[in-house]
Amino acid sequence: MSREIAPDPSSRFTWHVPAALILAMWASILSTDLYTPSLPELDQVFGTTDRAVKLTMSVNFVGYALGPLLVGPLADHFGRRRVLAIGMALFAVLSMLCSVAPDIWTLIVLRGLQGACGSVASVLCVVLIRDLFRGPEAVKVLSLYGASIGIAPAIGPLLGGFIHVWAGWWANFVLLSILGTMAAVMVWRMIPEGGGGAPFNVRLSLRRYRRLLRNSVFLRFALAIGATFAGLFAYITVGPYLFIERFGIPTQDYGFYYGASVIAYIIGATAANRFAERVSVFGLTKIGATFGVAGALVFLGITVAEALTAITMLVAMSLFSLGLGILFAAAPVLMFASVPKALGATAGVLFSIGQSAGAALGAGSVALLHDDRPEILAVVMLGFAAFATGLVFAGPVVEGEQEV
């Protein structure tokens, strides 16, 4: 039997536990986009092609998608604190190795392994918060956790641009190694052990995954979210090339342009929260999908009309990101509402895998197709957004006898 954490109701609330978990998640998130301002220069550093450089993004997300398949069974067997601490320690080692990679193919392999280890935080941090805190304390920690991981993607490219100019591309991976080491030490020393003792049963996890994949509502919205992630990370992968090389934006300023899209995303998520009592969850999902496909259409329109500038691209991407903020706030509610409670944790792992797989698909598609024409990025983004919108509008969503 797995031993669950039992919170001590007499203990006083302290912030060192959520601080350790938030730091671990920050290191994991920053690994996806901290070094993106360096992408346009890595082809010269390693004497390779843009396509090979972009594979350092897509392969990282492949690792991020595959890692959670083992995280659940490992955490049930060895304990959540132990698996999280070891995962972050390996993440730190791999990040340091990335900083001294001798060639692009070594960096690609290391990025894949780094993503697999970083996925440990994405799976276990929320589970540990759920186990360790109850009632108002849980709300307090989860709200801070949500705000923190929402800010991290905006800070990453901005910080990475300054580090690149100050020290070089490799210094970004040194910073990730330092953060990973700090997180591993804090988790090991500050987090109480929970779980553990259950048999290492991958077959059971696979049976649960198969059961969820037969759930048409879960699969429909999981694919829609994965497709929108694909569109987003196609932009994240190609964006530095367009802003820095095409528009002449200084490397250290790229983060401000990327941050504007993150702000639009946060506005969308906030609007979804505000209007949740007036508009159905399904209605919000449809609104988010519509804004997303509209942003991709605007982006394609301005490229075809040869009106693409840093500002017009920023407007289009902000519209796209606004829709994503609404969609990501609403669609998971519909997805998890269709899942039995017994499969909640497995659904969370599969949801994380779907997001990472979508990110890998988006980054990989532009790595293979992109030839310095923004039209290619616009078509890829529109294709993913249209696919997601088609899934959302494919039919009604019913919970019991009431449409959600």
Q: Does 134 score more than 80 pLDDT? A: no
Q: Where are the alpha helices (DSSP H) in 167-308?
A: 169-190, 202-213, 216-240, 254-274, 281-304
Question: Domain with 233 in it: what CATH number?
Answer: 1.20.1250.20
402 is a domain residue: no
Q: Does 11 score more than 60 pLDDT? A: no
Q: pLDDT class for 337, splitting at 50, 70, 90?
A: confident
One-letter amino acid of 106:
T
Q: For 190-213, what is the mean pLDDT?
A: 73
pLDDT in tens, 367-388: 777 666 788 899 999 999 999 9
Q: What is the pLDDT of residue 347?
A: 66
Q: How many CA atoms lie within 13 A of 76 on its CB side?
A: 16
Which residue, 138, 159, 190, sits at the end of a domain? 190
**Do 177 and 225 belong together in one domain?**
no
**Do 147 and 291 belong together in one domain?**
no
Tell me what percent of the residues of the chain surpass a pLDDT of 70. 85
**115-129, 133-147, 166-180, 240-254 — which one is most confidently predicted on average?**
166-180
Q: Does 345 score more than 70 pLDDT? A: no
Q: Does 130 score more than 60 pLDDT? A: yes
Q: Does 343 score more than 80 pLDDT? A: no
**Do 171 and 213 belong together in one domain?**
no
102 is a domain residue: yes
Q: What is the pTM of this model?
A: 0.75
Between 245 and 381, residue with greater pLDDT: 381
8 is a domain residue: no
2 is a domain residue: no
Return the structure tokens found at 10: 């007499």
**Do 38 and 186 belong together in one domain?**
yes
Q: For 34-50, what is the mean pLDDT?
A: 90
Q: Does 192 score more than 60 pLDDT? A: yes
348 is a domain residue: yes
**Do 239 and 338 belong together in one domain?**
yes
**Do 384 and 236 belong together in one domain?**
yes
Q: Does 263 score more than 90 pLDDT? A: no
Lowest mean pLDDT among 73-82, 93-102, 146-155, 187-196: 146-155
What's the N-to-C CA distance of the chain in angstroms?
Answer: 37
Q: pLDDT class for 402, splitting at 50, 70, 90?
A: very low
100 is a domain residue: yes
**Do 42 and 174 belong together in one domain?**
yes
One-letter amino acid of 155:
I
Residues 104, 305: Cα–Cα separation, whole Å: 36
391 is a domain residue: yes
pLDDT in tens, 227-236: 998 998 888 8
**Domain enclosing residue 146, as ranges:** 13-190
Residues 127, 352: Cα–Cα separation, whole Å: 13
Return the structure tokens found at 302: 């301005």
Cα separation values, 392 from 42, 131, 172, 219, 322, Å: 38, 33, 38, 11, 17
**Do 172 and 119 belong together in one domain?**
yes
**Do 207 and 186 belong together in one domain?**
no
Q: For 319-323, what is the mean pLDDT?
A: 92
Residues 254, 257: Cα–Cα separation, whole Å: 5
Residues 231, 220: Cα–Cα separation, whole Å: 17
Reduced to 3 states (helix: H, G, I; strand: E, B; else coil), residue 403 is: strand
**43-57, 100-114, 134-148, 328-342 — which one is most confidently predicted on average?**
100-114
Q: pLDDT class for 341, splitting at 50, 70, 90?
A: low
Q: pLDDT class for 186, splitting at 50, 70, 90?
A: very high
Q: What is the pLDDT of residue 146?
A: 62
| Domains in the chain, number | 2
Q: For 339-354, what is the mean pLDDT?
A: 68
Q: For 49-72, what is the mean pLDDT?
A: 86
A 10 A CB-CB count for 264 gives: 23
**Do 239 and 161 belong together in one domain?**
no
Q: What is the pLDDT of residue 208?
A: 78
Which residue, 190, 215, 233, sits at the end of a domain? 190
**Do 298 and 173 belong together in one domain?**
no
Q: What is the pLDDT of residue 53?
A: 92
What lies within 8 Å, CB to CB, of 27 at 6+ separation is 88, 91, 118, 121, 176, 179, 180, 183
Q: What is the pLDDT of residue 6?
A: 46
Return the structure tokens found at 362: 């988006």
Q: Own/partner pairs for 3-12, CB < 8 Å, 24+ apart?
A: 3/194, 3/195, 3/196, 3/197, 4/131, 4/194, 4/195, 5/128, 5/131, 5/132, 5/192, 5/193, 5/194, 5/195, 7/131, 7/132, 7/133, 7/134
pLDDT in tens, 272-308: 878 877 888 889 899 999 999 999 999 999 999 999 9
Residues 141, 129: Cα–Cα separation, whole Å: 7
pLDDT in tens, 307-317: 999 999 999 99
Q: Does 193 score more than 80 pLDDT? A: no
33 contacts 314 by C-beta, under 8 angstroms? no
Which residue, 131, 165, 190, sits at the end of a domain? 190
206 is a domain residue: yes
* Gyration radius from the chain CA atoms: 21
180 contacts 27 by C-beta, under 8 angstroms? yes
196 contacts 77 by C-beta, under 8 angstroms? yes
Q: For 342-363, what is the mean pLDDT?
A: 73
**Do 166 and 287 belong together in one domain?**
no
Between 225 and 105, residue with greater pLDDT: 105
